[in-house]
Amino acid sequence: MISIIRIFFLSLILALSSCTGNDFYIEFDLPADVTANYKVSYYASDKRGGMMIETAAPVVNGKFVLKGQTINPALLYLSGSDQRSIAIYVERGEKLKISGESANPYSWMIKGNDTDEQWSIWRNENKDTLSLDDPQKTNLAVAKYVIANPESPLSALILLTSFSRKDDEAMFRSLWLRLAGDARNPKWTSLAGRADQPDNFVRTPGILRSMAVRSFHHGIDTIRPDSAAASILFFWHAGSVGRKEYIDSIKTLSKEYPDSAKRIIADICLDADSIAWRSPLRSDSLVNVVRAWAPAGLADSKIMGLCVPRTPFFIVFSPDGTQQYRGSDTKEAFATFRYLIKENSKQ
């Protein structure tokens, strides 16, 4: 009820924006042959809460003026039918202007504040890379800027909006820890709307000594990395994209290393509903794998200690409990697991 009241009052405040100056405008001034419908979304907020706004910018013959409202600064995400997406920094009362020579947002120049102007320059310099939709190459472009400009708020913004963390978590963490000065202001993280930040990636990922989990087969199981040459944990939700493919890969891995006394393989469901956890297990037919459940999900103290940011997600541990791989890449996770098995089986 309280949240509903907050949203009502925020809506009322936005409706009265002509009196309070909460409007902002974004003018499109593109070539006459550009006619496209761009999807627009942003989070409009005040100190008490906010709501997600979704609308469209129907650009016809290169022209359109988008009117929006916000009280706090916002990041407005704009994307076309080709899925190319950019983020625009906007404050209430601002009048921004978008110009360019094509329908490609990466080539646009956005003027109206220093942040958007500098952001436009970066996108223009990297438009060929960004257009490739290659996460690794985009990550390198982001890294180059962050390393050269560690105190710039723009470094925080492009890291939060353009870097593919799932493709290189270690680099993401390294770059985040390079940020200094105003770039480390929590407002940039809040603005980007990333709930898994900043605590989880600023902290060093936790060392796992021992973790008791609810188990499908045994009621309770204890995961102890020091009892195995290597350990791999897979965190998932029932709605995780590609869950079946991940589970099938884990099944293959468990058959490759059938001796569960020498390794630990576990999948951990983070759904609150036990039915969501149990239902798919009966058809998975995994053997010698710990089928675990953490109903508190990402809020579970043990999961938080391991800095699990999302699902699906792998963590591979060495026998001393340190995390050797973090991410969603099955190939990389399994390669790390196999390497640890090989190295630690020699001892």
pLDDT at 305: 84
Q: Output Rg (C-alpha) for the chain, integer angstroms.
A: 23
Q: Which of 41, 40, 42, 46 has its CA nearest to residue 8?
A: 46
Name the DSSP letter for residue 17: H
Q: Which of 162, 264, 272 has its CA nearest to residue 211?
A: 264
Using a cut of 0.85, tell me whether the model's pTM lies above it.
Answer: no
Please determine, for residue 315, whether its predicted confidence score (pLDDT) is greater than 90. Answer: yes
Cα(153)–Cα(113) distance, rounded to whole angstroms?
13
What is the tens place of the pLDDT at every residue in 54-79? 899 999 999 999 999 998 899 999 98
Q: Output the DSSP codes for 203-269.
A: SPPPP-S-EEEEETTTEEEEE-GGGSSEEEEEEE-TT-TTHHHHHHHHHHHHHHS--TTTEEEEEEE
Give SS3 for 13. Answer: helix
Alpha helix segments (H runs only) across 232-295: 243-256, 274-284
Please determine, for residue 196, whether its predicted confidence score (pLDDT) is greater than 50. Answer: no
What is the tens place of the pLDDT at every residue in 162-182? 998 878 877 888 898 888 889
Comparing 7-21, 169-183, 258-272, which segment has the lowest mean pLDDT?
Answer: 7-21
The pLDDT confidence band at residue 84, using thresholds 50, 70 and 90, is: confident
Please determine, for residue 7, whether its predicted confidence score (pLDDT) is greater than 90. Answer: no
Please determine, for residue 80, whether its predicted confidence score (pLDDT) is greater than 50. Answer: yes
The pLDDT confidence band at residue 129, using thresholds 50, 70 and 90, is: very high
Q: Output the DSSP codes for 139-189.
A: HHHHHHHHHH-TT-HHHHHHHHHH--GGG-HHHHHHHHHH--GGGG-HHHH
**Are 170 and 136 contacting, i.e. CB atoms less than 8 angstroms apart?**
no
Q: What is the rounded average pLDDT of the residues 3-17?
A: 47
pLDDT at 346: 66
Q: What is the rounded average pLDDT of the residues 304-318?
A: 89
Average pLDDT over the chain, rounded to whole?
Answer: 85
Cα(47)–Cα(50) distance, rounded to whole angstroms?
8
Q: What is the rounded average pLDDT of the residues 190-208?
A: 57
Q: How many CB atoms lie within 10 A of CB 314?
A: 23
Sole residue written with tokens 């978008």: 98
Cα(171)–Cα(207) distance, rounded to whole angstroms?
19
Please determine, for residue 113, whether its predicted confidence score (pLDDT) is greater than 80. Answer: yes
Q: What is the rounded average pLDDT of the residues 251-265?
A: 93
**Are 166 and 327 contacting, i.e. CB atoms less than 8 angstroms apart?**
yes
